[in-house]
Chains A and B, each alone.
Chain A
């Protein structure tokens, strides 16, 4: 299998971020991945407009890699595979729709700086990342919460 053969597909954003059901807390067993275009997504208390959201996972036993993150993908009918985030993004980003920003929904337990060249600002987190659906008087918002904050890497 090659990196481009991974079933990394477009999904409705709520499905991608596991927001279809109602949960008091995020599901820690969620392993879904893929991508979605959104008009708006909140990173903590900061709104990002016109974003390409990539839902990805790293394992809690992933080794510290300095400037990279080891991604892991669960696959049907075979064991999981891993790919370095830099390699994965280099292969996949050219194939995905353009947006004004790229947001990685991805845990980054070792707080690795991601030196990935992207044509638009790239947002990634330090520490755990969870997805949330907030509902208030003004409507709903989809929010990604990062344990230690969000990094914006400009193009």
Chain B
């Protein structure tokens, strides 16, 4: 497996792309792509971050992440909380199936750190074949709509969490993912896995269609509730009464 996912450092390509029009004033999107020796499996980091935001708990999170991942391997997760409610979720390929994160198995971490009363920020960082990806810090506050895995940190009786995907759980995840892929033929059809790439947005998590559902069969886009006005010289009249 190690050779399968070995990174060819010489094939690292940095691609700069311009983000689509939006009401955000953030910097343009930067995409980083890398090529591996054999399987070049893409991870949609926006969806990984969203999965963490929505997950009800570790088992829900690992299910969501394995639905997102398009490669053959199953992704295990290890969750470790610290006393100050800092939480580190490690995603890894448990190649030797011993339920621990060993050398060369780690592929990402999601770190949640408190930043104040009722506030925290989160960052996702890639490792191994996904080294080079680092999400922007995204903020969470106690009023946000989030899954219990995050929102529980704001509860007064929060109990620190420790979790790792067990060998038995991997079998369940494999069965679930097979069913999920079978029910999403458009995404998991007959396309060859060779030549795919992986990477992520380094500075901006948004892109057109960031809200596409990963768990529903088919999604049609509607509208965006912002107006592209950048560069105009005349401001609109403001009504006050």
Contacts and interface: CB of A to CB of B under 8 A. Distances in A.
Interface of A: 1-3, 6, 17-19, 21-32, 43-46, 55-62, 70, 72, 74, 79-84, 87, 105-107, 109-111, 123, 126-137, 141, 143-153
A133 B215 CA distance: 13
A18 B220 CA distance: 10
B236 A79 contact: yes
B186 to A, nearest CB: 12
A2 B141 contact: no
A13 to B, nearest CB: 10
B59 to A, nearest CB: 16
Contact of B238 (A26, A31, A81, A137): A81
Contacts of A148: 138-139, 205
Interface string B39-63: 0000000000010011000000000
Contacts of B20: 28
A17 to B, nearest CB: 5
Given A83-B239, A152-B143, A130 B217 contact: no
Contacts of B22: 28, 60, 107, 109, 128
26 contacts: A2-B241, A19-B220, A23-B220, A26-B224, A27-B224, A28-B20, A28-B22, A44-B50, A45-B215, A60-B229, A62-B23, A83-B239, A106-B225, A107-B24, A107-B225, A111-B139, A128-B24, A129-B224, A129-B226, A131-B224, A131-B225, A144-B211, A145-B210, A145-B212, A146-B211, A152-B144
B218 interface: yes
Contacts of B115: none
B117 interface: no
Given A59-B23, A131-B222, A151 B213 contact: no
Interface residues of B, number: 54
Contacts of B236: 59, 72, 79-82
Interface in B135-150: 138-141, 143-147
Contacts of A46: 145
Contacts of A106: 225
Nearest to A75: B236
B230 interface: yes
Contact of A27 (B145, B223, B240): B223
Nearest to B209: A25
B65 to A, nearest CB: 15
